[in-house]
Chain A
Amino acid sequence: MFERNFLKTINIFGFIFLMLSCSNTSKVPKADTFPFEIHFGSTGGFTNLNPVFIIKSNGEVFKKDNAKANPLLLKNIDATKIDSIYLLIKQSNFADLKISNISNYTNYIEINYEKCNNKIMWYNQSQIPTEVQNLYKFLLSIIKK
């Protein structure tokens, strides 16, 4: 009886240990996470009527039909995608970027995070480094229908 109880206790502890070890599925260390809000899209053109996309660090994805419109919730994305965004922001050194290339139709990413507010603009992909291209592609993949 003692052995059975002992084994049972071990199993209980083992189960608890297993649960605790699996509870955090994120691969990004907690120290590297931070609240962010990303605005991205395009500006300009004949009508200057362009949608704005917003992704928040809580996973909410919004779309505004134009700059003046109210944001509408499109979807919620999971922690895995948020983690990817963290990594891509870090890899791109977004806070340090100074990219301001403006033309008739300009793409932009604006990120508020870690007490920083930075906006980059470009109209030709060659104007942004690979890391930013990767970030932008990932953001586009989130909003695509």
Chain B
Amino acid sequence: MNRSLLLIVACVFSASLFAQVQNKVSKTRSKSAAPYTTSFKSVTINGQNSLKASKVTSTTSLYTNVGTSTLTVPSKQVGIATIIYGADSLAPIYFERKNESKLKSASVQTPEQHCFSFLNDIKHNLHVTSPLQSFVVSKSTTDALGQQHVRLSQKYNGINVYSSDFYVHFAGDNEIMNGKYSVINSSINTLPKISKQQALQIASNDLLTVAPITELPDNLKDIYNYSSPTTDTVILEDKRSFAKFSLAYHIIIRPNAIDEWYYFVNAANGNIIKKFNNTKYDGPATASATNLNGVSTTINTYLQKGKYSLIDASESMFDAAKGEGIIQTLDAQNTAGNTYAEITSVNNTWNNPKAVSAHTNAKQAYLYFKNTFNRNSINGTGGNIYSFINVTNSDGSQMDNAFWSDKIMCYGNGNVGFEPLMKAIDVAAHEMAHGVTQNTAGLEYEGESGAINESMSDIFGAMVDRSNWYIGEEVTKTSYIASGRLRDMSDPHNGTSDGNNGWQPKHTSEKYTGTDDHGGVHTNSGICNYAYYLLATAITKEKAEQIYYRALTTYLTKSSQFIDLRLAVIKSAKDLYTDGSNEVTQCVKSFDAVGINEEQPNNYTQTYPVNPGQDYLLLYNTDISDDTTLYRSSVAGTIFQGLTTTNMQGKASVVDDGSVAYFVSADKEIKGLYPTPNSTDETVISPDKFWQNVAVSKDGNRMAAITSYIDTAIYVYDFGSDIWRKFILYNPSTEGENKNGGVLYADAIEFDHTGEYLIYDSYNVIRSSATDSISYWDIGLIKVWDKQSNTFGDGTISKLFGNLPDSVSIGNPVFSKNSPNIIAFDYEFGGTEYAIYGLNLEDMTLGKIADNNTFGYPSFSKLDDKIAYHTINNSDKWSVATVGLNADKISSTETPLIIVTDAAWPVYYATGTRILGLAPKANFTVSYKSGAAPLSTSFFDQSTNEPTSWLWTFESGNPSSSTAQNPNVTYNSIGTYAVTLKATNGFGNNTVVKSGYINIGDGTAIGEITLKDKISVYPNPSTGIFEVSAKEFGNDYEIEVYNNQGIIVKKIISQNNTITTQINLTGYPLGLYLVRISSGTESFTTRIVKN
């Protein structure tokens, strides 16, 4: 590859071309941009006028409508006066006449004197006996127009009449009175029977129920001119009293920096006549409203620009600056959710029970997750919570359903089968839990993962509505389900039988295996529900819900199956309560009882046969002075033979037998050539000039390609049917497609050995704001072909890793030549660190193969004993290096060696023919693993790679062997028995033996087996020393002793074939203990008594 020096002009020209080569060979490409849009609109609150959460609420009073309406009263013309009366029709609120007083008297009067002269003159109109005694001047002013204004209050026996406040004006010749005062016709008792201190205590006690009371700091006290509550005696209008007025204490309390409360306490009996929050601001408010159950409840609302909305911004998650962290209820206005409107009130009154129910139930469900698990809203980061009411079916008919719609809880009003579904708290909690699942485990909504998804929602629904184990009992009509409940976790059969509404299985033997309802997610959830019920009954709901929440948020993933649920729950219990605790034991028992059993792994490692042909290395020539672009060399990087002069866009892909190499040419066509020297055949496979990269399946029957645009797709072509399919790329995150960005385009692609899956890398951009974004490369697997149906696959995608660390990109994945689960890929950190890593997809073991200084595009050798990749040598030239692999194929302890310079995109291939098929990997499960004799149980084949025949052996079973795929067997004898399965297909066979797999007892509780034949514990009862004789074992074993609280008190490990071991309970309390003895996968339990 090294050539002689070129002329200067040529060097400059070369440098330019080199840059082009560099760009092509590196991962950086420029592609035409494309927009990304989202359609969800969110409600915005202007938090600038709001105050952050306090626990302040207001409440109803008798006077909620004060100031909310316009009173229209008739005016009365009396002589030359105009009189307008107030609502009581006694006291004028406006009186105007010509200045008769002025005409009568020429003496100079003060405005106050003039005022009383006027009032006295019209006292009959005022219905006041003595204005001088009833009214007191509070202020007197003369304005710039020369008009005089006297402001007056009212007194009764020297006590202020609250709310009485009016003016007398002297304007020109006119005398005017306006404002409010009270006509008091009855005698009012002005002797208080309770003291001011007592009244203050009454008010303070009441205020504690609605607001926290904190001492104001001194600076605020100065500002507010407030040091402590004030108490004045007043006469207050009180329609409940006989006199219509009461002597009251007016108390002003500032419970915190934000609020100011007014209380009016009856001085005769201590009743609170009225109270209200006198603080004037936009922000959180409360109201009293009635829900669908007819219960009056306090709801949180929000005042903004004079209008109240059903927005709860009272929780600590509310961020006023961002307007986030609200709980809002909206009205879908009898649509399918396509439109919605805010639910508002001008006066904070809510005559909308459906909205009230939805609103309060959402709050209650939110508080459950917050208080029980410290979870900050559905998404865990204080995100908004939305509820839609009045959601209908697509045709506008009333919906018998409720659902979680990606970000919103939606409620129908019921129809044939159900009442309005927002009525029930467990429905709200069920839907909210779907949101929690979406934001945590992301359980896919089909098959067993979907059933777990549904079960989790039922579980948390039942934990919020803790009084029973029913789901939907408040809204289910008995005409639809006779039991009156949609589901029953304590008995999933729900009082009916299979096929009827409301029935669910309670054991895996009853599991629905059809395709309806996405594989029966609403049906099979009964199995998980029952397991939870058993657990919670055994260890308490408080413990069970913590375990399950931990399982959901820490261990479960989107495709978790029932067995994964079992493992996750048991692990969570061990995390919270330690290994060997009663909580862990009960978790195990609960899953055993429903047939979700833990299986023993089959560690058989599979490989394909090695390609028998000669192996070579394809190398892309980066020396632009050489016309040949693609060379074939020996695997040592010698003996170069030119194959083509066609420039390429990307790495070549070779059929497994080495017969054809596909590539995308510089003019973006897909081409194929025979990678043999002297062959000039080069064919245009796809003349469309927009391709970027191509990969061929191992058998050569299909081709995958990507375009040179920002095209979020991979295209697959089937040579047999001459059909293209476009597969859309997406990131299957827990929130669905990220509305702020996601996959832009793919680059490197390769088929797996089966030809069903493509492994690919993709470029992703996530926008965190209008100007900030994060970009990275990631790897995924997409199903593009289905061998069983011999048609295109469903395009489902799995990402290699759930999350990548910040600043990390991975790409250029490639399968090993012979191991179906081994891949290698490029790793990049921060744009400066590069490496090649290997990964075992079976157990996700990661290994480092080599450090690098650029993306390397690795390739496995024929024997998987080496990796070739490109790098940049010390002279800044593209070069190909190789490094030897360890036996695990994903790591290396060798030093890489550069074998060729001016080369890139190495591809190992061989020219022999092999059949890419694998023998089965035998495995199985069973419906009932333990029980009393006679036990009938069903075995289910779970072998991989499509076995075509089976041979079962059942120790002590009837039948003792079977060739059926899923046989039924009966066990009649007490004991522990092994099961063997040999699975065979055209590529070979594999056998799995599970010892001690079936446990048959004598009728004692499942999970407990008497030890008379295997192990004995004596004497029993004992005063403290028990001997354990394990003469039947001959193996090491472990003894665990639990007290009657389920707490482990002793753990003894017996080794070296010890036959007799002592349990010493000297010093322990008298009573019952449980002894569990285990050895490998076998275990036995028995009870002992210390007396």
Q: CA of A145 to CA of B453 in the docked complex: distance in angstroms? A: 34
B391-404 CB mask vs A (1 if < 8 Å, else 0) is 00111110011111
- By a CB distance below 8 angstroms, the chain B residues around A106 are 445, 518
Q: In the assembled complex, how far is the CB of residue B693 from the closest CB belonging to chain A, in whole angstroms? A: 21
B522, B737, B796: most-surrounded residue (chain A CB, <10 A): B522
Q: Is the CB of A48 within 8 A of B402?
A: no
The 8 Å CB contact of B737, one of A41, A42, A100, A126, is A126
A43, A44, A102: most-surrounded residue (chain B CB, <10 A): A44
A84 at interface by CB-CB < 8 Å: no
Q: In the assembled complex, how far is the CB of residue B400 from the closest CB belonging to chain A, in whole angstroms? A: 5
The 8 Å CB contact of B393, one of A44, A48, A51, A101, is A51
B39 at interface by CB-CB < 8 Å: yes
Q: List 21 A-B contacts (CB under 8 A).
A: A42-B394, A43-B518, A45-B403, A46-B486, A49-B400, A49-B401, A49-B417, A51-B395, A53-B394, A100-B796, A101-B736, A102-B444, A103-B404, A103-B406, A104-B404, A104-B445, A123-B405, A124-B406, A125-B39, A126-B37, A143-B394
B393, B396, B453: most-surrounded residue (chain A CB, <10 A): B393
Q: In the assembled complex, how far is the CB of residue B135 from the closest CB belonging to chain A, in whole angstroms? A: 65
Q: Is the CB of A105 within 8 A of B393?
A: no
Question: Given A105-B403, A123-B406, A126-B737, A46 and B396 touching (CB < 8 A)?
Answer: no
B418 at interface by CB-CB < 8 Å: yes
Q: Is the CB of B446 within 8 A of A102?
A: yes
Q: Is the CB of B516 within 8 A of A102?
A: no
Q: Is the CB of B402 within 8 A of A47?
A: yes
B510 at interface by CB-CB < 8 Å: no
A27 at interface by CB-CB < 8 Å: no
Q: Is the CB of B395 within 8 A of A144?
A: yes
The 8 Å CB contact of B517, one of A43, A46, A51, A145, is A43
Q: In the assembled complex, how far is the CB of residue A3 from the closest CB belonging to chain B, in whole angstroms? A: 62
B427 at interface by CB-CB < 8 Å: yes
The 8 Å CB contact of B400, one of A47, A67, A100, A103, is A47
Q: Is the CB of B402 within 8 A of A67?
A: no
Q: CA of A48 to CA of B517 in the docked complex: distance in angstroms? A: 8
Q: Is the CB of A103 within 8 A of B736?
A: yes
Q: In the assembled complex, how far is the CB of residue A59 from the closest CB belonging to chain B, in whole angstroms? A: 17
B402, B517, B518, B521: most-surrounded residue (chain A CB, <10 A): B518
B1014 at interface by CB-CB < 8 Å: no
Q: CA of A67 to CA of B793 in the docked complex: distance in angstroms? A: 27
- Tally of chain A residues near chain B (CB < 8 A): 33
A83-106 CB mask vs B (1 if < 8 Å, else 0) is 000000000000010101111111
Q: CA of A97 to CA of B84 in the docked complex: distance in angstroms? A: 76
- Tally of chain B residues near chain A (CB < 8 A): 45
The 8 Å CB contact of B427, one of A42, A46, A67, A100, is A46
B1053 at interface by CB-CB < 8 Å: no
- By a CB distance below 8 angstroms, the chain A residues around B453 are 104
A50 at interface by CB-CB < 8 Å: yes
Q: Is the CB of B401 within 8 A of A104?
A: no
Question: Given A98-B727, A98-B792, A106-B445, A47 and B518 touching (CB < 8 A)?
Answer: no
A16 at interface by CB-CB < 8 Å: no
Q: CA of A42 to CA of B397 in the docked complex: distance in angstroms? A: 13
Question: Given A126-B38, A140-B394, A143-B394, A48 and B796 touching (CB < 8 A)?
Answer: no
Question: Given A53-B395, A123-B406, A124-B406, A104 and B434 touching (CB < 8 A)?
Answer: yes
**Who on chain B is nearest to A129 by CB?**
B728
Q: Is the CB of A47 within 8 A of B417?
A: yes
B833 at interface by CB-CB < 8 Å: no
Q: CA of A67 to CA of B368 in the docked complex: distance in angstroms? A: 34
Binding site for B on A (CB under 8 A): 41-51, 53, 63, 65, 67, 96, 98, 100-106, 123-127, 140, 143-145
B794 at interface by CB-CB < 8 Å: yes
Q: In the assembled complex, how far is the CB of residue A52 from the closest CB belonging to chain B, in whole angstroms? A: 10
Q: In the assembled complex, how far is the CB of residue A67 from the closest CB belonging to chain B, in whole angstroms? A: 7
B566 at interface by CB-CB < 8 Å: no
B448 at interface by CB-CB < 8 Å: no
Question: Given A46-B421, A47-B417, A102 and B518 touching (CB < 8 A)?
Answer: yes
**Who on chain B is nearest to A41 by CB?**
B394
Q: CA of A112 to CA of B818 in the docked complex: distance in angstroms? A: 42
Q: Supply 11 further A-B pairs (C-beta < 8 A) apart from A102-B444, A126-B38.
A: A46-B401, A46-B402, A47-B472, A48-B401, A65-B416, A67-B516, A104-B445, A123-B406, A140-B394, A144-B394, A145-B397
Q: CA of A49 to CA of B427 in the docked complex: distance in angstroms? A: 14
**Who on chain B is nearest to A100 by CB?**
B794
Q: Is the CB of A49 within 8 A of B418?
A: yes
**Who on chain A is nearest to B461 by CB?**
A46
The 8 Å CB contact of B725, one of A45, A98, A124, is A98
Q: CA of A142 to CA of B431 in the docked complex: distance in angstroms? A: 30
**Who on chain A is nearest to B337 by CB?**
A105
Q: CA of A25 to CA of B434 in the docked complex: distance in angstroms? A: 50
Question: Given A43-B518, A98-B795, A126-B39, A104 and B403 touching (CB < 8 A)?
Answer: yes
B862 at interface by CB-CB < 8 Å: no
Q: In the assembled complex, how far is the CB of residue A25 from the closest CB belonging to chain B, in whole angstroms? A: 28
Q: Is the CB of B522 within 8 A of A48?
A: yes
- By a CB distance below 8 angstroms, the chain B residues around A65 are 416
**Who on chain A is nearest to B783 by CB?**
A98
Q: CA of A140 to CA of B338 in the docked complex: distance in angstroms? A: 12
Q: CA of A104 to CA of B793 in the docked complex: distance in angstroms? A: 23
- By a CB distance below 8 angstroms, the chain A residues around B363 are none
B788-806 CB mask vs A (1 if < 8 Å, else 0) is 0000111110000000000
B430 at interface by CB-CB < 8 Å: yes
- By a CB distance below 8 angstroms, the chain A residues around B410 are 105
For the complex of A and B, the 6 pairs showing the least CB-CB separation, nearest first, are A45-B403, A105-B403, A45-B401, A143-B395, A46-B402, A104-B404
- By a CB distance below 8 angstroms, the chain B residues around A50 are 393, 400-401
- By a CB distance below 8 angstroms, the chain B residues around A67 are 516
- By a CB distance below 8 angstroms, the chain A residues around B446 are 102
- By a CB distance below 8 angstroms, the chain B residues around A125 are 39
Q: CA of A41 to CA of B400 in the docked complex: distance in angstroms? A: 14
Q: CA of A42 to CA of B410 in the docked complex: distance in angstroms? A: 14
Q: CA of A16 to CA of B1057 in the docked complex: distance in angstroms? A: 107
